Amino acid sequence: MLKDIDSAAIVAVKDLSRAKDFYRNKLGLELTLGDDNVLSFKTGKTTLVVYVSDYAGTNKANAVVWGVGDQIDAIVADLAAKGINFEHYPDMGMDYANGTHSSGGFKAVWFKDPDGNILHFNNM
In a domain, 2, yes or no: no
* Domain that residue 89 falls in: 9-122
The count of domains in the chain is 1
Q: What is the mean pLDDT of residues 22-40?
A: 96
User: Is 96 inside a domain boundary?
Assistant: yes
Assigned domain for 92 exists: yes
Q: Which residues is 103 bridged to in the sheet?
A: 106
- Distance between CA 92 and CA 94 in Å, rounded? 6
Q: What is the CATH number of the domain that holds 80?
A: 3.10.180.10
- Asked whether residue 4 is assigned to any structural domain, the reply reads no
Torsion angle (degrees, nearest 10) of CA 73, 75, 78, 81: -70
Does the residue 3 lie in any domain?
Answer: no
Query: pTM score, two decimals?
Result: 0.92
- pLDDT tens for each residue of 60-115: 999 999 999 999 999 999 999 999 999 999 999 999 999 999 999 999 999 999 99
